[in-house]
Structure 1
């Protein structure tokens, strides 16, 4: 009986399998990746029941325009700028064609809400070397005009969400693996408006944003952002942006210890910035590109075809930007920000703190982190309001760190444990509208000042309990310490010099920390309480742990000498700490440590 039952079951399964295999394949009319909760990497092709129309504009017997549809039956047309389109094609190519998307379905392809994406192959290898993304705003302002130049030949350009049909520059994997082409040696030019509202489509607002990859690992170790801030003028059609051909704002961001890697793609540590009404003229920085001019017969499809008619873009390039900033730039002010809590994973820079209230916190709340893109807590900002220091640097004796020469003021909002972790920042592309990080209810603050106006900080104030009152102020002059230090000429440096500088700073801080440990031992302090800080495993940890180890031991020594009522020892150890000279200090002979 069991054998019969088994045979019947086996027969049934075989018949079921046969019926499944012989089912006719159901015709699929629409593209498979529509409405799914996964990434959309390509323009959804037309449904198979949609007809394709071809136009031969130059009467050479082959199509020059392909008109069809994409997702949600939105009309699209491809312009064949490289003359390789064939009848029967259902889409153009993305090496040298132009895609126009009629979002509002009015039949015009370059009116309000419409999109245009144009690829250009400059060297004839059938791979795009540059791409422009344009979307036309519905109102009087907004939109995009954004060129990406593929200088590292990875064929990665703007990150377009083909499901939503919009530019999404902040989408990323993990901590900071952005899908937009911010990685390696790359560049883009961008304005938040459409090209019909620009006086010269060869110019731009972020003009350019340069990414550098000096170690050729495919990641970005340095970035320069230059702004041609336009004059805005209202017209009947909308808000116009009139570019001057002058860069009036510049920033330079550095990964000083080159500790970025897959999984930690962006790890900038410091940004230096300049601003000035005169800035520098860049109209001689002309970049000409082959095949940039689009098919002339297709100009009829564009409400304003000027951007299709150019053969050049004007912007400072990777090789010239640095020297233009320092040699040609006429700047009114300079600033520096340092990511002391090492939690910045932003793609463009460590965002600047502003010289505002040191105790107010929150985006647009008039505090030092007023800029929404700034770290709520953990960074150190310094401001040279008259650019007297020309963006040069120095290593201070009082903390062994990099400071901005000429800065009148500085503020460090401490986030010792990176509890308020900034990461990529939030705000955009569905990650906001708020910052991703938690805002600390209380925070310690250290403030710096150059009271004698010689370019070096000589006063340090501390609010360590977070009550917004500086409970302690230290004057280097009162301690008999010369605040002047060797000036570092930033203009003459390259990225390798910044790497060497950070390593030297970290090693010196750690060396001083070991000196503090030895002194503390001699004075009878049990240094093992700070074992967690005594085993650094990286350049950054030597820098970070070394600073804090010295800070704790110094204050323990102050506490010890105060308990023993040794005023002379207190003054001597203060001078040793703020001059960075632990070796020059001798154990206090006046104090009986057994008392």
Structure 2
């Protein structure tokens, strides 16, 4: 076989693999969101041919009230490699009107990077208690398969506002980027977030990695005094990091002022009980277990850990100076070098 034939065959195999991955991604997104992530070619063409930023309202039942709006999002925060960002915003609480913008209480945002007709990310905002503000949100994205969930999956960073300050995650391109979003995201006050994933054949969302990440505001000033991160999968706990603002000097202007942490490896086969577990439903699909917000601190107190490391931030400079060269203190708590 000639070198040119080998090159052509290799190119065809790579192209075929990429198409198969794209098809699988679409199938799993549809498993979660149904028709919401099937982008009409006619609407994609209409939005692409229209003026960037123009809102295209869709009134499916002809009652004069639109159910969704499509547009190219021209916000400067979106990275160039994602542009143009085509958005299908679906109103899920009936308050969208012609000429008005979709909101952040109970609307679904489907994002298509490069406006090529394929879904790349979804943001889901939820008003749980009907007071027209944000209580929960999910940032859904594609994962080809990694160290925790080896199978391809749609993953979600799911967050809940425990303290009712109605502040949760920031996004670029309708997804989360650690270097671009972490210090604009409200990791603070009283909050929960969990990482879930679901594959094509899965019946439930699997909780893993950040399972969960919990922020506690004991004096109700919207500033976190205690951060608890458990890492594992389903009922299993593998790692602990427990951080504290020991001198209680965090403020709204300087909210990430943690002083010390306890990091630990779990003993073999450490699990939590069903009585200590919470299960939720995401887009009609049940999740696996994660530890309850109120009971998690008590669970970790009763464990004899395999090993434990105390880290104290003596110079009040709890920054990630290596990977991101940050000059802002960490929101995750105090992380000893080499343990994150």
- Kept after mapping to 1: 8 A contact 2:205/2:287: no
Q: CA deviation at 1:96?
A: 0.6
RMSD: 3.3
Q: Distance in 1 between matches of 2:272 and 2:206?
A: 14
- Kept after mapping to 2: 8 A contact 1:66/1:90: no
Verify: 1:52 aligned to 2:56, yes or no: yes
Counterparts in 2 of 1:63 and 1:330: CA distance versus 1, 3 Å: farther
Q: Which among 133, 136, 147 is matched to residue 142 of structure 2?
A: 136
1:167 is aligned to 176
Q: CA deviation at 1:166?
A: 4.0
Q: Distance in 1 between matches of 2:273 and 2:67?
A: 37
Verify: 1:94 aligned to 2:104, yes or no: yes
Verify: 1:280 aligned to 2:248, yes or no: no
Instruction: State the TM-score, normalizing by the size of structure 2.
Output: 0.66
1:355 is aligned to none
- Kept after mapping to 2: 8 A contact 1:75/1:103: yes
Could you say which structure has the higher strand fraction?
2
Q: Distance in 2 between matches of 1:134 and 1:115?
A: 6
1:326 is aligned to 301
Q: Which among 118, 121, 125 is matched to residue 127 of structure 2?
A: 121
Q: Distance in 2 between matches of 1:288 and 1:140?
A: 24
Verify: 1:350 aligned to 2:318, yes or no: no
Q: CA deviation at 1:178?
A: 3.1
Q: CA deviation at 1:205?
A: 2.2
- Kept after mapping to 2: 8 A contact 1:115/1:135: yes
Q: Which among 223, 233, 248 is matched to residue 238 of structure 2?
A: 248
Q: CA deviation at 1:349?
A: 2.1
Q: Distance in 1 between matches of 2:90 and 2:53?
A: 22
Counterparts in 2 of 1:286 and 1:332: CA distance versus 1, 3 Å: closer
Q: CA deviation at 1:73?
A: 4.3
Per-residue deviation, residues 353-409 of structure 1 (Å, max 9, x unmatched): xxxxxxxxxxxxxxxx434x5xxxxxxxxxxxxxxxxxxxxxxxxxxxxxxxxxxxx
- Kept after mapping to 1: 8 A contact 2:53/2:73: no
Q: Which among 315, 318, 321 is matched to residue 341 of structure 1?
A: 315
Q: Distance in 2 between matches of 1:197 and 1:265?
A: 40
2:289 is aligned to 314
- Kept after mapping to 1: 8 A contact 2:84/2:114: no
- Kept after mapping to 2: 8 A contact 1:280/1:324: no
Verify: 1:190 aligned to 2:195, yes or no: yes
Q: CA deviation at 1:89?
A: 4.5
Counterparts in 2 of 1:47 and 1:260: CA distance versus 1, 3 Å: same
1:207 is aligned to 211
Instruction: State the TM-score, normalizing by the size of structure 1.
Output: 0.40
Structure 2 spans left out of the alignment, 5+ residues: 1-49, 75-82, 147-152, 319-328
Counterparts in 2 of 1:347 and 1:62: CA distance versus 1, 3 Å: same
Per-residue deviation, residues 501-542 of structure 1 (Å, max 9, x unmatched): xxxxxxxxxxxxxxxxxxxxxxxxxxxxxxxxxxxxxxxxxx
2:167 is aligned to 156
Aligned length: 265
Task: With a CA cutoff of 8 Å and minimum separation of 6, indicate the structure with the bigger relative contact order.
Answer: 2
- Kept after mapping to 1: 8 A contact 2:193/2:213: yes
1:264 is aligned to 254
2:41 is aligned to none
1:218 is aligned to 222
Q: Distance in 2 between matches of 1:324 and 1:60?
A: 53
- Kept after mapping to 1: 8 A contact 2:123/2:174: no
Structure number with larger C-alpha Rg? 1
Q: Distance in 2 between matches of 1:51 and 1:270?
A: 49
1:463 is aligned to none
- Kept after mapping to 2: 8 A contact 1:272/1:337: yes
Counterparts in 2 of 1:221 and 1:50: CA distance versus 1, 3 Å: closer
Counterparts in 2 of 1:203 and 1:165: CA distance versus 1, 3 Å: closer
Counterparts in 2 of 1:171 and 1:255: CA distance versus 1, 3 Å: farther
- Kept after mapping to 2: 8 A contact 1:286/1:313: no
Q: CA deviation at 1:337?
A: 1.8
Q: CA deviation at 1:126?
A: 0.9
Q: CA deviation at 1:52?
A: 1.4
Per-residue deviation, residues 68-122 of structure 1 (Å, max 9, x unmatched): 3323543211222223334x2564221111100011433242xxxx110001111
Q: CA deviation at 1:145?
A: 1.6
Q: Which among 142, 145, 150 is matched to residue 156 of structure 2?
A: 145
Counterparts in 2 of 1:92 and 1:322: CA distance versus 1, 3 Å: same
Q: CA deviation at 1:66?
A: 3.0
- Kept after mapping to 1: 8 A contact 2:52/2:71: no
Q: Distance in 1 between matches of 2:244 and 2:334?
A: 9
1:528 is aligned to none
